[in-house]
């Protein structure tokens, strides 16, 4: 049986569920930039 790496609490580490360094794709980053830009523009436009 293969020995698994354990974290500091003794639980096995699964690399596919590692949220410390998420692998996000380029399209997701672009979509988030567009969404936040539209939200900020909408807030600023509403105050004018």
Cα dihedral across residues 17, 19, 20, 22: positive or negative: positive
**Does 20 have pLDDT greater than 60?**
yes
Average model confidence (pLDDT) across the chain: 80
β partners of residue 6: 12
Q: What is the average pLDDT across 37-46? A: 94
- CB-based contacts of 4: which residues, under 8 Å, 6+ apart? 12, 13
Q: What is the pTM of this model?
A: 0.47
CA gap 15, 43 in Å, rounded: 40
**Does 1 have pLDDT greater than 60?**
no
């Amino acid at each position: 049986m293969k020995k698994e790496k354990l974290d500091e609490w003794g639980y096995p580490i699964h690399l596919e569920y590692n949220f410390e360094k998420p692998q996000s794709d380029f399209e997701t980053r672009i979509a988030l930039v567009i969404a936040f830009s539209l939200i900020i523009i909408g807030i600023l436009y509403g105050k004018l």
